[in-house]
Each structure stands twice: as structure tokens, then as C-alpha cells.
Amino acid sequence: MSDKSFPGNGPGRPKDPAKRKAILEAAKCLFLRQGYDGSSMDAIAAHAGVSKLTVYSHFNDKETLFAAAVKAKCEEQLPDLLFELTEEAPIEALLMRIGLGFYSLINSAESVGLHRTMIALASSNPRLSQLFYEAGPKQVIEEMARLLAEVDRAGKLRIADPHGAAEHFFCLVKGGHHFRHLIGCAEAQSAEDEQAHVCDVVELFLRAYRIPPLS
């Protein structure tokens, strides 16, 4: 029986949050270690210490579990509070926190492994690529766009297209070193180099979107 054809458990007893967390941790571990096709729901269940039926009671199929694992990884590294605008923190400090959190996320061993897996599957399983994008990168961009729209309304920066500005910011943070690291041409940067890189990106971003002084 294929992973997708196993029936869901349907309504019943309340689901155990601890078991759900264990399943997600197992899924993240195996998807990265063995790839998507090499990670069966049986193996994930065994790694989590639960039954296969329990896995399906929390996640209807392997694609759903994969998307949930990607989303959980992003939320671990970039919690929602990171995208909150406050009066206490200057915009520079907020952008630095987001930039450093994002750079740490995309350059982590898990993220690099996952991206390499998705590149390998891009032509053979575009549906999975779409799930990955919607569960991870798309949500991060949308949260950043929401924040930048709020920044514009608060008069801190002038951002006519928050979504485009969010994509600009994250593309700048990725930079050239991340691509070299992704394809195996460079090692991960030191914490000092990461800090300097993100600082340069924030300064460039602020120059691009700063409100010009009145003449």
C-alpha cells in the first residue's frame, strides 16, 4: 500500500500534541537524511515511536507531513514575534534581527540539505516543490511584506510595494555566499562574517527605502 492511500483516522479522541511534535521531529530528520522518496511513513512512525495509524491521524498523507515539517522548521528559526513592529526597537535593529535569523535559517545544515533535496526533485515532482514553497519561503515573504506595510504606514520608511521590498530584502540577505555554500563551493561563514554581511544588507535596504528629507 502506498503512503498516500492509507486512510485517515477521522474524528475521534483529541490528538496528543507531544506525539505530533515527535512525528514532526522525525519527519524533519528523515526527510533531510534520506530525502523525500527515501522516507516512508513507516520509517517516520518508527523514528517517532508511534504507530503508522497515529501518523496518519495527525497528517493525512506524506505530502501534508512534509509541508508541516518545512513550516515547523521556519517557525522555529523565525517566530511570529520577530515580525512585530514596536516603538522601542528602531527599524535598523528590527531588520538586523530578521536578517540574522533568516541567514542562520537558510545556512543551517538542515536547510541546506532540504534545499538540495528540493532542487533534485524540482523536475520530477513539481507538486512537492510547490508545497515546499508555500509552507516555507512564501509564508516568510508574506510575513515580511505585512511588516513592511506597517513600517510604511508608520512613516518609518517609504515602501510602495511591500511584497517586492520583502523579496528584495531576502534576496540581498541570501547573497552570493549562500549560493556557493548550497552547491558545495564554500563552507558556512563565521558568526562575525554573517553579522557584517547582514549589516551591509540592512544599510543598503534602508538607503533604498528611506524617506527623503524635505527640501
Q: What tens digit of pLDDT does each residue of 26-61 get?
A: 998 888 788 788 899 999 999 999 999 999 999 999
* In a domain? residue 70: no
CA angle, 110 as apex, 104 and 114 as ends, to 5°?
115
Radius of gyration of the chain (CA): 20
For residue 72, being part of any structural domain is answered with no
> What is the full per-residue pLDDT of the chain (215 aa) written as tens digits?
344 444 444 445 567 899 999 999 999 888 878 878 889 999 999 999 999 999 999 999 998 998 888 888 777 767 766 888 887 779 999 999 999 999 988 998 878 888 888 888 888 888 888 888 888 889 899 999 999 999 999 999 999 999 999 999 999 999 999 999 999 999 989 999 999 999 999 999 999 999 887 75
Name the pTM for this structure: 0.79
**How many domains in the chain?**
2
Q: In which domain, by residue range, is 31 found?
A: 3-61
103 and 164 in a single domain? The answer is: yes
- Residue 114: what pLDDT? 81
The CA distance from 171 to 169, in Å, is: 6
